Amino acid sequence: MTAPDTRILLTGATGQVGHELRPRLATLGKLIPATRRVLDLAELDVIAATLDAIAPNVIVNAAGFTAVDNAERDHELCHRVNGEATRLIAEWAAKHGALMVHFSSDYVFDGNHRKAYTETDATGPLNVYGASKLAGEQAIAASGVAHLIFRTSWVYGAHGSNFARTMLRLAHQRTELGVVNDQCGTPTWAGRVADATAEVLAQIITPDTSATKALGDRGGVYHMTAKGSTSWYHFAEQVIAHDPKKSEQTLQALSPITTAEYPTPASRPKYSVLSSAKLHATWGVTMPKWETDLHNVMPSLEPTTR
């Protein structure tokens, strides 16, 4: 049911998750989709004034600095966007009684587990990006704002730059390709993240009461990923095998390699599988197996251009 008096601000409206959220959130209230032109999280001194002008009841923060390797080279900008800007949004929302929804990452963990991480497990990011996302989480909690933090992982989709689309491009450009096989996580379709987010918000945003009141004591951190786990290599294997244009591929050999054979500026956790059991228990949201969504989405995936 739509709550027409609810003003929903969506930051990062042209990003992977933001793009998928737009049509779904539009059914819940008055949606204000904000691109970087409207709200640039790198410009800290204009955030409060912009929020004053928009006056949202609900803020869905899907914006962020997501270039994990670039974060190692530009850690100041990464922390400004993912940490400081998030803090300012949370403080504004707390002051004005708005609900804040925020997306975080599996990279807040160190990867030393061998079973799916729960929301109560200790964090320990290995890279600048993960540290900045954790700083954002902590700032939200410290602000006292009514909030939901959704940690997700290995996000891909038909929009924007992501691993699946990059693999499609490389499969049509190269004859041989090596992909890391000793990092384990869960590929999660951006549309599934948007569906699950909207399913939760539909239980909160109603014409009868404020979103913050409807949230009650159910706020906090939730893991939001598909079920199951895989490596980057097996993820790539599935993407390439289900390419609608497989007959046009130039790729002849896909090989598993180790992290040591493919060094990157940012260290990655070897294991970052998340358990979404709390999400299901609290909100009734069921996440499908990662393979199910991937196979359904493959016909709409196009290779990245570069």
Q: What residues act catalytically?
A: 129
- Return d(Cα 289, Cα 187) in angstroms, integer: 9
**47-54 and 85-96 are packed helices; what angle lies between their axes, rounded to 10 degrees?**
40
Sign for the pseudo-dihedral over CA of 240, 241, 242, 244 = positive
- Return d(Cα 226, Cα 188) in angstroms, integer: 5
* Alpha helical stretches, state H, 9-122: 16-25, 47-54, 68-73, 75-79, 85-96
> Do the Cβ atoms of 225 and 274 come closer than 8 Å?
yes
Kindly give the pairing relationship between strand 30-34 and strand 230-231: unpaired
